[in-house]
């Protein structure tokens, strides 16, 4: 192709490779990436995510990070969003860290007589692990002073849970 003048630049070469070796022109890897959801571990989800993301030419890093975070399980997604990662590698690290935290919490709260089934992974919890607070009475003003937390203070506070 180069000798025939069909490849005039690096982007043209990349486009030619993509056109020649892509799975099919009818697949939409961008759409699949946006719809991808974590079903098992963060590592498995990351592998699926990277396989799709690597098929998209010109995917902005901020868009990739946003798609990655939005596909995480709700509990992990919330934790990662609170920490406001600035890069994809940071978002992945936060997601893995929170997954480990969830796994540790499951081990801690497992009844001592329970038998573990190694053939079937334990699904992640579907509700928040934070305790529920009573609903304030909206009819009477609250005399309790409160302080608005900065994102850094909130992240530090949540790291203890």
More confident call, 5 vs 75:
75
Whole-angstrom distance, CA of residue 23 vs CA of residue 20 = 9
Residues 6+ apart with CB under 8 A from 144: none
Q: What is the pLDDT of residues 86-120, one digit of tens each?
A: 999 999 999 999 999 999 988 887 665 555 555 55
CB within 8 A of 14, min separation 6: which ones? 57
Domain map (residue ranges) of the chain: 31-109+152-161
The C-alpha atoms of residue 48 and residue 42 are separated, in whole angstroms, by 10
Does the pLDDT at position 10 exceed 70? yes
Q: How far apart are CA 113 and CA 96, in angstroms?
A: 29
Domain 31-109+152-161 has CATH 3.30.2320: no
Q: What is the pLDDT of residue 65?
A: 96
């Amino acid at each position: 192709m180069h000798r025939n003048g069909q490849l005039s630049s690096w982007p043209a070469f990349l486009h030619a490779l993509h056109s020649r070796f892509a799975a099919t022109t009818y697949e939409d890897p961008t759409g699949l990436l946006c719809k991808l959801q974590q079903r098992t571990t963060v590592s498995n989800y990351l592998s699926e995510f990277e396989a799709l993301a690597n098929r998209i030419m010109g995917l902005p890093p901020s868009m990739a990070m946003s798609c990655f975070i939005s596909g995480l399980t709700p509990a992990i997604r919330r934790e990662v969003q609170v920490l406001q990662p600035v890069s994809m590698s940071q978002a992945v690290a936060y997601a893995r860290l929170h997954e480990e935290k969830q796994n540790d919490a499951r081990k801690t709260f497992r009844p001592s007589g329970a038998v573990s089934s190694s053939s079937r992974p334990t699904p992640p919890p579907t509700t928040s692990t934070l305790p529920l607070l009573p609903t304030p009475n909206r009819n009477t003003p609250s005399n309790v002073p409160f302080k608005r937390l900065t994102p850094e203070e909130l992240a530090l506070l949540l790291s203890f849970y």
